């Protein structure tokens, strides 16, 4: 096992996922960078390894494939030991009217937002329960608690992910495993959405590095004061 432990980050892109990998690597942790497409991980793995913290490796994983998820955990545990932290950051979104909704789109979003979280969360729990420690962190959204018009493709899966996290926290907490659910309420700053900041007050978008810091603090929390449901939003966001 790595001296400083390891983390599996599932659902890694250039925004929050990459920031999570950088933050945990900064502490010397080995980082499994997992995404559906290998090309999404290559640049991030190179970047993280160049920082000189913990080692990073890329994995191509379909989070809705039970066998693929189990293979990911088997490989990481075999090389680095049981992961100290697992982060489920995958998701899918499609805004549309219920009158125009397609069943295949609904199923795809539910699988990415909820079913994949179940497969990853279950695999993490099975690894960690024998050690009596570990953190399992789920990324939620405003839609986790509010079904807005035309956002059902996101809300249904995120509602389900929240319910999964609640049930897991209540079962696994007494066994030493910290399960937390983080609601991201607002747009995350990225190259894709940088133009949005031009017409907004300063710091109106969520900074990926700041979000990642909260995930790290959740992982490091003493079990006498574990947080479960954490909301993150920029100061201008109404709620």
Range of the structural domain that residue 165 is part of = 6-232
Mean pLDDT for the stretch of residues 30-59: 91
46 located within any domain: yes
CA distances (Å), origin 53, targets 47, 114, 122, 167: 11, 32, 28, 34
238 located within any domain: no
| Higher local confidence (pLDDT), 183 or 1 | 183
Q: Is the pLDDT of residue 225 over 70?
A: yes
237 located within any domain: no
Domain count for the chain, please give it: 1
181 located within any domain: yes
204 located within any domain: yes
104 located within any domain: yes
Whichever domain contains 141, its CATH number is 3.40.50.720
90 located within any domain: yes
pLDDT of residue 28: 95
- Give how far the C-alpha of residue 202 lies from the chain's centroid of Cα atoms, to the nearest Å: 26
pLDDT digits (tens, 9 = 90+) for 124-148: 999 999 999 999 999 999 999 999 9
pLDDT of residue 196: 64
Cβ pair 57, 31 in contact under 8 A: yes
Q: Is the pLDDT of residue 200 over 80?
A: no
pLDDT of residue 40: 81
pLDDT of residue 2: 44
Mean pLDDT for the stretch of residues 61-72: 96
Q: What per-residue string of b and e applies to 22-43 under the rule 16 or more CB within 10 Å gives b?
A: bbbbeeebbbbbbbbeeebbee
152 located within any domain: yes
pLDDT of residue 194: 60
pTM comes to: 0.93
Half-sphere exposure of 45 (CA within 13 A, CB side): 16
How much is the mean pLDDT over the chain?
Answer: 93
Q: Is the pLDDT of residue 156 over 80?
A: yes
């Amino acid at each position: 096992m790595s001296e400083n432990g390891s983390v599996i980050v599932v659902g890694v892109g250039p925004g929050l996922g990459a920031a999570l990998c950088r933050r945990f690597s900064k502490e010397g942790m080995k980082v499994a960078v997992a995404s559906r497409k290998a090309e999404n991980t290559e640049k991030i793995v190179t970047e993280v390894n160049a920082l000189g913290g913990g080692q990073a490796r890329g994995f191509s994983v379909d989070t809705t494939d039970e066998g693929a998820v189990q293979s990911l955990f088997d490989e990481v545990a075999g090389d680095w030991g049981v992961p100290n932290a697992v982060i489920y950051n995958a998701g899918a979104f499609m805004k549309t009217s219920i009158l125009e909704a397609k069943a295949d789109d609904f199923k795809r979003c539910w699988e990415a937002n909820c079913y994949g979280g179940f497969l990853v969360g279950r695999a993490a729990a099975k690894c960690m329960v024998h050690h009596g420690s570990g953190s399992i962190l789920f990324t939620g959204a405003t839609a986790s608690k509010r079904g807005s018009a035309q956002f059902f493709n996101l809300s249904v899966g995120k509602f389900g992910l929240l319910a999964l996290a609640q049930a897991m926290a209540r079962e696994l907490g007494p066994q030493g495993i910290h399960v937390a659910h983080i609601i991201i309420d607002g747009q995350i700053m990225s190259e894709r959405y940088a133009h949005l900041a031009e017409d907004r007050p300063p710091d109106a978008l969520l900074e990926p590095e700041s979000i990642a810091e909260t995930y790290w603090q959740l992982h490091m929390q003493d079990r006498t004061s574990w947080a479960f449901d954490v909301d993150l939003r920029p100061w201008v966001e109404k709620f």
